[in-house]
Structure 1
Amino acid sequence: MKKHGICSKAGLVAIGVGLFMLLTFGQSSSASAKTTQQSVASFNKVKVNLVSNDLKITTGDHFSVKTTNDKRLKPRIEVKDGTLQIKASKKQAQANQHNKWATVEITLPKGQQLENLEYQNVNGDLYVDQQEIDKANLESNTGSVKIKRSTINQGSTVSLDNGGLTITKGRLEGGVFNLKNGNLQMHNVSQRGTTKISNKNGDNEVIGANRKSGYALKTNNGTNKLFKKTTDDHQLTQKSKNSNQLSLTNENGDNTIKE
């Protein structure tokens, strides 16, 4: 009986120590976060390579970058030849641990157009609002991408391994979107040229589509819905010779297009 009492006390001590360590380290991580905002020289291109930060691109009064990070893990920021370059520090790359408070916010003056947006992230979300971009190349291992009230003029390439893609109230001039594990949502987006969307495991949904455009829906395991047509057949098409084409290809999930 005494041994049992000793074991019970030891277990309680171990639990207490574990809880203390969890709370202590959790508090120290958030407590060490530091927010800094700096004005930067004007730029018309953005190149981002991050490991564990969320990134937001929005409009404001002037060119600036705001970061919230553990002060030891602040990404490197510089403008070179008109390109804003943001790269994860070596320590951050080694840590490779996502914190919801670790963020980077890029602000451009209203009306400033981006010639190119290159984005690579291991573990973090991307949010783009009120931007006009000539070309975008977006890659993410784990994280969602949200694009709102923005225009991408010359096509775009998006590759997401584990995360969803949401585009609302914008315009696309063609593009290629590849998702491996996540849903795609396009709401009230005008589309010109050829846009190809491929998904391995997730639903594709387009709302606010133009009936005059051409569509090709294909799924190996799911339902195709094109306006008022619904079928469990693998493929459904409309106006294949139209100059504006939207293609939805899915391995495991539904394709839905609505007005």
Structure 2
Amino acid sequence: MKILAKIGAAFLTIGLVMGVIGSLNSVLKPTEIVAGRPRIIRNHDKVYQLDEFRSINIDTKNLDVDIVDGSRYEVKVISNRTNSGVNVTEKNGELTVQQTSRHDFGNFGFALAAHRESKIVITVPTVDKELTEINYQSNNADLFLDGLKVRQIDFAAANSDLDLLDTEVSGSVKVQMNNGDLDVQNSRLNAATLALRNGSLKLVDGEVHNLGAELNNGDFEAHATKFTGKNKISNQNGDNELSGADKTLGYRLRNKYGDNMLFGAESGQIMSHKWTGENQIELVTYNGDNTVE
């Protein structure tokens, strides 16, 4: 009986705690500290309805940016500040988005209270037309592309991630990242030149033509990805891994300190497979393993 009583008391306590949480969550608002005092964070979103644009230039400090396919040309600044510090202009088919002041995300509040993420969302129809270019510069903000057709991407950032989903790049891709990861899923890349100092590169369910990637500290992964042309991945400190690889392609694996595994065979510093073919992939790492399977 004592055991049953303890179990009942425990369930009663849990019920009371959940009730208190529900009540608090309905009345508490996310807060931030301003001049040493708490202040309720309010929504100050701003929407820009624009004429057609095909080129996008972005310079952001620490507001993440999403560029997605949609039914209209629009920029939405999701912010908790009265002045978002974001300037939006469109001229002659060229969109420019610039963040002039940093957002302070050091908010103090209860975890139970919902807190929206401040960001910039750009919507552009690309069903029949492709964007000519996306130029992106940032100190500390991520870029997410979804459902786009674009001719050229130029990405330069200090501490940022880049994610591509269902995106086609017909011209070229140039990426320079100091600290951040690059994830590409169900997308097509052409003539991509990628330089990642501290970060990983991941390709999933896509197509790549003439890829040149240099990684300093990070892993390279490609899963069920179609490679054409001449492709080379150079890694200083990290592993290179291809899974679901096409055996009709040419492969060459090289490393200094690590293992090479090519379709079940294992060897030392250099391995090759049909290297004279038209479509080739070369994996090079100084301190890491190369795996193709």
TM-score, normalised to structure 2's length? 0.67
- 1:210-249 paired onto structure 2 within 5 Å: 210-231=246-267, 233-249=268-284
Return the letter of the residue paired with 1:148. Q
Q: Choose which of 176, 186, 189 in structure 1 pairs with 2:212.
A: 176
Contact 1:98 1:124 in 2 (8 A): no
Moved over 6 A (4+): 27-30, 95-100
Q: Choose which of 69, 73, 87 in structure 2 pairs with 1:63.
A: 73
| Whole-angstrom CA distance in 2 between matches of 1:143 and 1:29 | 33
Contact 1:123 1:141 in 2 (8 A): yes
Q: Choose which of 145, 152, 158 in structure 1 pairs with 2:189.
A: 152
Match of 2:7 in 1: none
Match of 2:151 in 1: 115
Match of 2:174 in 1: 137
Q: Deviations over 1:111-166 (max 9, x none)?
A: 3421111111111211111111121111111111111111123x111111111111
Match of 2:24 in 1: none
Report which stretch shifted further, 156-165 or 96-105.
96-105
| Whole-angstrom CA distance in 2 between matches of 1:187 and 1:152 | 15
Contact 2:77 2:84 in 1 (8 A): no
**Cα-Cα RMSD:** 3.3
Displacement of 1:175 in angstroms is 1.8
| Whole-angstrom CA distance in 2 between matches of 1:188 and 1:30 | 48
Identity of aligned residues (%): 26
Return the letter of the residue paired with 2:284. T
Displacement of 1:238 in angstroms is 1.2
CA distance 1:147–1:106, shift in 2 (3 Å) = farther
| Whole-angstrom CA distance in 2 between matches of 1:35 and 1:167 | 34
Displacement of 1:217 in angstroms is 1.0
| Whole-angstrom CA distance in 1 between matches of 2:292 and 2:106 | 35
More helix by share: 1
Displacement of 1:182 in angstroms is 1.1
Contact 1:37 1:66 in 2 (8 A): yes
| Whole-angstrom CA distance in 2 between matches of 1:204 and 1:165 | 10
Gaps of 5+ in 2: 1-31, 108-115, 131-148
SS for the counterpart of 1:159 is strand
| Whole-angstrom CA distance in 2 between matches of 1:192 and 1:64 | 36
Report which stretch shifted further, 173-182 or 98-107.
98-107
CA distance 1:110–1:141, shift in 2 (3 Å) = same
Displacement of 1:81 in angstroms is 4.7
Gaps of 5+ in 1: 1-22
CA distance 1:121–1:214, shift in 2 (3 Å) = same
Return the letter of the residue paired with 1:130. D
Return the letter of the residue paired with 2:264. K
| Whole-angstrom CA distance in 1 between matches of 2:104 and 2:288 | 31
Report which stretch shifted further, 207-216 or 72-81.
72-81
* Equivalenced residues, count: 232
SS for the counterpart of 1:180 is strand
- 1:68-79 paired onto structure 2 within 5 Å: 68=78, 71=81, 74-79=85-90
Q: Deviations over 1:153-192 (max 9, x none)?
A: 3x11111111111111111111211111111111111111
| Whole-angstrom CA distance in 2 between matches of 1:194 and 1:243 | 8
| Whole-angstrom CA distance in 1 between matches of 2:220 and 2:206 | 15
Return the letter of the residue paired with 1:152. L
